[in-house]
Amino acid sequence: MQAVKRILVVIDPTQQEQVALTRASLIAGFIECELHLLVCEDRQDYSDLLARLRVEQDAKGVRCSVTQDWHNNLTDTICRAVTREGCDLVVKQHRPDNPLRKALLTPDDWKLLRYCPAPVLMVKNGDSWMKGNILAAVDVGNHDDQHHVLHDTIVSHAADIAEMVGGQLHLVSAHPAPMLSSADPDYQLKERIAADYLEKAGQYTAQYGIDSAHLHIAEGPADFLIPQVAGQLGASVTVIGTIARKGIAGALIGNTAEVVLDQLNSDILVLKPEDTLAHLEALLEK
């Protein structure tokens, strides 16, 4: 989080309470970065609203710039602003889509998670993070270099947030069910699988001082286990990652982050590998 120098905050002019701005302002106060406020709209002028919000941030000692813009759709507008303004993080309020609409159309927030060339913090509510539980969600069973680097980034960001708010760092990882037909005997017994995942999580428990009470490794699908553990902990924020699949050019997201987005009561910070972010930036510049 300390590497973040500028935060793009998506302002929803239809909402009286700007919870995304409240969250971003608090983060900016901790890490001493700038804010850029963006209204994605071309049908009405919101310069008065943006001017008022900028004055409020100035009074708090937070440096702030503002724009109103529109390019085809919400996702494209935000992504272009990220590149143009040199932002390292996007903060946006998330409100669940209507289930019928979600079945017919890809939700805007899913598109943003897929295509945004910067990490995205989806704010679910205005609850304080102070002294809260911070949950890092990783898949320690994945051995490839891209996942390994991404997991390091996830836990590092979660640890930074926990330190920032004086909270408790937790780690969750879901492991598969035993498969009697597996050629590897280690994957035929639940106990061996769990022990293997515990061993792989050891690098994080040792590096960040995570004790057994803060380590949550269990059998089941990740999109079920992560919201379950987050709910039990009353997590303030869940940090999760995603790897581009079926070709990086498609910028396709692993669907765990999308599925848990509506299920989590906590805020959710979604990270991508650096090479994926760099590729998305390159696509935007074309």
Residues 140 and 64 in one domain: no
Confidence check: pLDDT of 166 > 80: yes
pLDDT grade, residue 55 (50/70/90)?
A: very high
List the domain range (segments joined by +) for residue 15: 6-93
How far the first Cα of the chain sits from its last, in Å, is: 29
Look at residue 120 and tell me if it is in a domain: no
Kindly state the tokens that stand for 257.
Answer: 């982050």
Split into its structural domains, the chain has a count of 2
Q: Max Cα separation, the chain?
A: 66
**What pLDDT score was predicted for residue 6?**
96
Residue 119 belongs to some domain of the structure:
no
> How confident is the model at residue 253, as a pLDDT?
42
> Where would I find the beta strands (DSSP E) of the chain?
6-11, 34-40, 64-69, 89-93, 120-123, 133-137, 168-175, 215-219, 237-241, 267-271
Please, what is the average pLDDT of the chain?
Answer: 86
**Are 69 and 191 members of one domain?**
no
Query: In the prediction, which pLDDT does 185 show?
Result: 58
Q: Do 80 and 199 reside in the same domain of the chain?
A: no
56 and 175 fall within a common domain: no
- Phi and psi at 64, nearest 5°, equal -150, 135
Residue 277 lies in a domain: yes
Domain boundary among 71, 93, 115: 93
Burial call 5-34: b when 16+ CB within 10 Å, e when fewer: ebbbbbbbeeeeebbbbebbbbbbebeebb
The residue from 77, 93, 109 where one domain ends is 93
Q: Is residue 213 part of a domain?
A: yes
Q: How much is the average pLDDT of 209-215?
A: 93
153 lies in the same domain as 255: yes
CB burial of residue 254 (10 Å; 0-12, 13-18, 19+): middle
* 19-23, 214-218, 253-257: the lowest-pLDDT one: 253-257
In the 8-state DSSP scheme, what is residue 186?
A: G
The pLDDT of residue 248 is 41
CATH of the domain at 38: 3.40.50.620
Burial 199-223 (b: 16+ CB within 10 A, else e): ebbeebbeebebeeebbbbeeeebb
Q: For the domain that residue 265 is a member of, what is the CATH number? A: 3.40.50.12370
Instruction: Tell whether 209 is covered by a domain.
Output: yes
**Residue range 147-169: mean pLDDT, rounded:** 92
Same domain membership, residue 224 and residue 137: yes
Query: What is the band of 258 on the pLDDT scale with cuts at 50, 70, 90?
Result: confident
Beta bridge partners of 120: 90, 270
Shared-domain flag, residues 266 and 145: yes
Considering 63, 93, 123, which residue would you say is the last residue of a domain? 93
What separation in angstroms does the CA of 82 have from each of 35, 277, 281?
12, 12, 9
- Residue predicted with more confidence, 249 or 163: 163
- Say yes or no: 256 and 143 in one domain: yes
Q: Is residue 24 part of a domain?
A: yes
What pLDDT is attached to residue 191?
78
What pLDDT, on the 0 to 100 scale, is given for residue 21? 97
Instruction: Report if residue 128 sits inside a domain.
Output: no
Pair 86, 141 in one domain: no
Structure token pair of residue 31: 């890490």
CA 53 to chain centre: 25
If asked whether residues 161 and 211 sit together in one domain, one would say yes
Say yes or no to pLDDT of 60 above 70: yes
Residues 31 and 150 in one domain: no
DSSP β-ladder status, 267-271 and 120-123: antiparallel
66 lies in the same domain as 191: no
